[in-house]
Amino acid sequence: MPRLSWFASLPVLGCGLAGAVRAAPVVHCVGTVQELRNAVAASNATWQAFDLRIRSGCYALTQDGSHTHAPRFCRHSYDFAPPEHRSFRISGAWNAGCTQQAEQVTAVNSTVLDGQDAVGVFLFMGLSATNPISQISTVGVDRIQIARGWSIHANPLLRFSGCFAYGLEGGNSDPDVQSNFAFEFDRVRMELCEYGGLTLDSHTGESVRNSYFLGNTGPSASALVLSSDRAGATVCNNTFRNNVLTGTSQAATVRLRGSPWKYFSNNLVAENAHPAGAVATDLFADGTTFVRNNRLVHVVGDLGSLPFLLHNTQVAPGFLNAWNPRLSLGSALCDLGHTAAHHPGVGSWDVDGNVRVQGAAVDIGAHELEPLAPPPVDAVFANGFD
């Protein structure tokens, strides 16, 4: 299996949520796998709003008791009384005291959660039918790498992703008794996960931006599945590369279905594969999806057509090398994105913490390139000598 490629200088592999709230979140400062387990257990016991800050390092996750997913946020005590908005955050790249979070994420200060091809990394379970929640709560994930998650995808109730999954416990599909969680992913890396990178079912809205999905495998979507009848989604400025489809029916690298409206813009989708050798579908979406300023080749509409296809390109991306998701200098995707003020999802930083926008427009993909400097003026001729 390919090595983790986020940074070539990472230590040997196998070693490593936001919004307004009515009650201050409980801050957990995590620096070991056991501290991570303790923080999750404490959150499950009380289900208070929490701010889970994970210090820089590589965390090797193992199965915790009977739970196949290591950090498993489960349903116990989800029944809020009275219902209220709550904020949950999972974030990385924190210093030793969890007082400062790195803006520029490098090999030195990165946070890697490694499932070691043995356990799923994050599983977020929704509310049962006992007490519906009327307030929407937010779950934010940022500045973290999730890798080598393994999924128990044979479970009939939920399509568990190896990296990060959300679904309703018991397979409950009644919108009147679902928990109301809106998800926000920003500057997240999901790599080498089985059964897909990110799967969100029956959510109440989400955004996925400035992130990359690399080398994940899955049957219905190898990188990203967003499916809900209750809210739309914004998927903007992400890179999807080297993901492998393992299914044949409506298989796609990215799969978006559900209520209008959904925005899929400034994304780089390239070099994903189907094991049978067929051309992989880059995007499978319904007719209420705006697909704009992306690098992709093959798009399939749920109802046979996608009326909102604008300014997409099939140009070669110009990657840095065979496995790295970064673009090389001079890539044709530089300044080719859409940065209009009305367009949702363009953040102030790229996945590494570089400022957006640089140049005439935002770049396509998770990374923002610095514009090429103009050639230096010939000093001899500038001084008037020949």
What does residue 38 show for φ and ψ, rounded to 5 degrees? -65, -40
Position 328 pLDDT exceeds 80: yes
DSSP 84: -
| Tokens linked to 282 | 């880059």
CA distances from 120 to 5, 60, 68 (A): 20, 12, 6
What confidence tier does 52 reach under pLDDT thresholds 50, 70, 90?
Answer: very high
Count CB atoms within 10 A of the CB of residue 66: 5
Position 6 pLDDT exceeds 50: no
Position 42 pLDDT exceeds 90: no
The more confidently predicted of residues 127 and 85 is 85
Compute the residue count for the chain. 386
Residue type, 278: A
Fold of the CATH domain 26-382: Pectate Lyase C-like (2.160.20)
Mean pLDDT check: name the lowest of 14-28, 54-68, 209-223, 261-275: 14-28
DSSP 101: B
* CA 87 from centroid of its chain's CA atoms: 18
**Residues 49-74, mean pLDDT to the nearest whole number:** 78
**Residues 261-285, mean pLDDT to the nearest whole number:** 83
Spans of all domains in the chain? 26-382
Position 286 pLDDT exceeds 90: no
Position 230 pLDDT exceeds 80: no
pLDDT single digits (tens) 168-217: 554 444 544 455 678 899 999 999 988 888 888 766 778 899 999 999 98
What does pLDDT average to over the chain?
A: 76
Q: What's the burial of 304, exposed, middle or buried (CB within 10 Å: 0-12/13-18/19+)?
A: exposed
Position 16 pLDDT exceeds 60: no
What confidence tier does 351 reach under pLDDT thresholds 50, 70, 90?
Answer: very high
What does residue 37 show for φ and ψ, rounded to 5 degrees? -60, -40
Is the bond preceding residue 261 a cis peptide, omega within 30 degrees? yes
> Shortest CA distance to 197 belongs to which of 263, 283, 120, 110?
120
Q: How many CA atoms lie within 13 A of 136 on its CB side?
A: 16
pLDDT single digits (tens) 140-177: 999 999 999 887 654 544 456 778 877 655 444 454 44
For residues 385 and 370, give the distance between their C-alpha atoms in angstroms, rounded to a whole number.
Answer: 33
Position 110 pLDDT exceeds 90: yes
